[in-house]
């Protein structure tokens, strides 16, 4: 996937209509559920704070300044000497669906060139031009189509990993759940087989080191798999999910190890629910969200960090937050999310 898969510039000479286009485009994208950051690039420097005001005086004194108000927040920080714009763009796109750059015609990110009246083509020194929009065309429609196509491609091509949560207390089961067998197969191997469509597998949890000492299936899907211990200072399954996203900010499909009826069809359905604007997909069954067979995009990391910061252990607290989808699976797949916490429940399943 391109390093700038969710970045698109709007470039052109002064008077070419860059700001006007963005003012009309952004509301349409936001109305579709997308989170959009606009980075305004000015090679000549910025002048947007009122000289002499407290925030400006503190910034000039050397501080990074954040002004917080009930409905908005303004942050002013310094750009390190020699820091390329590209590094900032890569950082920004991990926290939103789309970064639109106004200006920056000589920068290396992909861009659309807006022709000014009488202009026939962008100048030769402008690179990475994906499209050229005429002065008198429907620029908003054309730009919107380009954005939607690029975002759909970015979501489809995003690198993915599958993580299986192990190491819970298993106090009611009386033994670690991952080593229980159903139809001659450990629950851990069963989860791995169902998650195979996702990609690389990882073990997440407190005793992932001990997992190496236990005989798995032959051959085991977890031979050589990544093993990530719980995030320190975090409780419950959230510790494993955070460990995964902190280690690599890619799309993670996370499953608990105690889903005896888990099968690949449920995972494929889950992957089909991914789309731009959805930072997490937590299926809802019987009115209850199911965070332990769910999708977590890189943009979900700050939301999960906020849950951990208040000492909560449940990723289900994502329910109701913006960019978190809770679709209901087909009825014939609902049992894939049904866990087993006791020997009796395991027998019933």
Instruction: For residue range 249-271, list pLDDT tens digits in order.
Output: 999 999 998 898 999 999 999 99
In this structure, the answer to whether residues 312 and 176 fall within a common structural domain is yes
Query: Residue 283: its pLDDT value, please?
Result: 98
pLDDT reported for residue 185:
78
| Whether the Cβ atoms of residue 227 and residue 203 lie closer than 8 Å to each other | yes
In a domain, 185, yes or no: yes
| Confidence band of 91 (pLDDT split at 50, 70, 90) | confident
Give pLDDT, residue 300: 96
**Contacts (Cβ under 8 Å, ≥6 apart) of 110:** 2, 4, 7, 8, 9, 128, 129, 130
- β-strand pairing of 293-296 with 251-256: antiparallel
Of 35-39, 98-102, 182-186, 277-281, the range with the lowest mean pLDDT is 182-186
Distance CA 327, CA 307 (A): 22
Task: Classify residue 257: in a domain, yes or no.
Answer: yes
Tell me, yes or no, whether 2 lies in a domain: no
Which residues, other chains included, contact 71 with Cβ-Cβ below 8 Å and sequence gap of 6+?
Answer: none
Tens of pLDDT, residues 202-246: 999 876 654 444 444 445 566 667 889 999 999 899 999 999 999
Classify residue 80: in a domain, yes or no: yes
Assess whether 235 and 287 both reside in one domain.
yes
Question: What distance in Å separates the CA atoms of residue 295 and residue 30, rounded to the nearest whole number?
Answer: 22
**Whether 149 and 53 share a structural domain:** yes
E strands, the chain, in order: 7-11, 36-40, 65-68, 73-76, 98-102, 111-114, 129-133, 160-166, 181-182, 185-186, 200-205, 226-228, 251-256, 280-281, 284-285, 288-289, 293-296, 324-325
The pLDDT-based confidence of 320 (bands split at 50, 70, 90) is very high
Total tally of structural domains belonging to the chain: 2
What six digits make up the tokens of 39? Answer: 């980075």
176 near 207, Cβ under 8 Å?
A: yes
Examine the pLDDT at 346 and tell me if it is beyond 60. Answer: no
Nearest alpha carbon to residue 6 among 198, 125, 146: 146
Residue 289 counted as domain residue = yes
The pTM (predicted TM-score) of the whole model is 0.87
Mean pLDDT score of the chain: 85
Q: Which domain CATH number covers 143?
A: 3.40.50.300
Q: Which residue has the higher pLDDT, 215 or 95?
A: 95
Range among 80-89, 116-125, 321-330 with highest mean pLDDT value: 321-330
pLDDT of residue 57: 75
Which tokens hold the place of 50? 């009122």
User: In the predicted model, is pLDDT for residue 273 greater than 80?
Assistant: yes
Are residues 232 and 337 both part of a single domain? yes
Q: Are residues 150 and 180 in the same domain?
A: no
pLDDT of residue 337: 95
Q: How large is the average pLDDT for residues 84-92?
A: 83
Mean pLDDT of the 29-55 span: 74
What is the pLDDT averaged over residues 90-102? Answer: 89
Residue 176, pLDDT > 70, answer: no
Select from 139, 157, 175 the last residue of a domain. 157
In this structure, the answer to whether residues 175 and 111 fall within a common structural domain is no
Q: Is the pLDDT of residue 78 over 80?
A: no
pLDDT value, residue 52 = 63
Quickly state the pLDDT bin for 335 (edges 50, 70, 90). Answer: very high
**Could you tell me if residue 198 is inside a domain?**
yes
Per-residue pLDDT for 151 more than 70?
Answer: yes
Residues 21 and 105 both lie in one domain = yes
pLDDT at 171: 47
Same domain, 93 and 196: no
Average pLDDT over residues 161-176: 69
Q: What is the pLDDT of residues 105-149, one digit of tens each?
A: 888 899 999 999 989 999 988 999 999 999 998 999 999 999 999
Give yes or no: residues 174 and 95 share one domain: no
- pLDDT mean over 297-316: 92
Q: In terms of pLDDT, which residue wins out, 335 or 73?
A: 335
Is 320 within the bounds of a domain? yes
CB burial of 197-228 (b: ≥16 within 10 Å; e: otherwise) equals ebeebbbbbebbeebeeeebbeebbbeebbbb
* Residues near 19 by beta carbon (within 8 Å), at least 6 away in sequence: 102
Q: Residue 126, exposed/middle/buried by CB under 10 A (0-12, 13-18, 19+)? A: middle
Residue 1 included in any domain: no
% of the chain surpassing 70 pLDDT: 83
Residues 215 and 71 in one domain: no
State which residues form the domain around 25.
Answer: 7-157
Rounded Cα distance, 279 and 238, in Å: 16
Are residues 188 and 278 located together in one domain of the fold?
yes
Average pLDDT over residues 282-311: 95
**Residue where a domain stops, chosen among 97, 131, 157:** 157
Q: Are residues 59 and 142 in the same domain?
A: yes
Last residue of a domain, one of 93, 123, 157: 157
Lowest mean pLDDT among 41-50, 148-157, 160-169: 41-50
Distance, in Å, from the CA atom of 33 to the CA atom of 200, rounded to the nearest integer, reads 30
Token match 């819970």: residue?
168
Q: What CATH number is given to the structural domain containing 251? A: 3.90.550.10
């Amino acid at each position: 996937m391109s390093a700038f898969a969710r970045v698109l510039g709007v470039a052109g000479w002064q008077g070419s209509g860059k700001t006007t286009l963005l003012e009309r485009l952004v509301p349409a994208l936001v109305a579709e559920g997308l989170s959009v950051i606009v980075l305004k690039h000015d090679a000549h420097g910025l002048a947007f704070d009122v000289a002499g005001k407290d925030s400006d005086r503190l910034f000039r004194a050397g501080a990074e300044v954040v002004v917080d108000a009930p409905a908005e927040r303004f942050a002013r920080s310094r750009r390190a000497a020699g820091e390329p714009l590209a590094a900032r763009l890569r950082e920004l796109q991990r926290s939103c669906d789309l970064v639109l750059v106004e200006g920056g015609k000589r920068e290396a990110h992909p861009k659309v060139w807006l022709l000014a009246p009488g202009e026939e083509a962008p100048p030769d020194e402008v690179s990475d031009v994906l499209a050229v929009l005429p002065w008198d065309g429907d620029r908003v429609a054309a730009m919107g189509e380009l954005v939607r196509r690029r975002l759909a491609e970015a979501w489809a091509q995003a690198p993915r990993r599958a993580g299986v949560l192990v190491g819970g207390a298993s106090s009611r089961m009386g033994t670690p759940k991952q080593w229980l067998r159903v139809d001659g197969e450990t629950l851990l191997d069963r989860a791995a087989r169902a998650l195979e469509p996702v990609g690389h597998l990882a073990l997440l949890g407190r005793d992932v080191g001990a997992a190496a000492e236990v005989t798995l299936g032959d051959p085991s899907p977890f031979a050589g798999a990544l093993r990530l211990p719980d995030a320190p200072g975090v409780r419950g399954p959230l510790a494993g999910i955070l460990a995964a996203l902190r280690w690599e900010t890619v799309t993670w499909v996370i499953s608990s190890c105690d889903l005896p009826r888990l099968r690949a069809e449920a995972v494929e359905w889950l992957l089909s629910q991914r789309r731009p604007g959805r930072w997490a997909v937590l299926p809802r069954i019987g009115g209850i969200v199911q965070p332990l067979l769910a999708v977590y995009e890189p943009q979900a990391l700050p939301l999960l960090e906020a849950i951990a910061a208040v000492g909560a252990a449940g990723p289900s607290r994502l329910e109701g937050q913006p960019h978190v989808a809770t679709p209901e699976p087909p009825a014939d797949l609902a049992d894939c999310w049904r866990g087993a916490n006791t020997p009796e429940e395991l027998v019933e399943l």
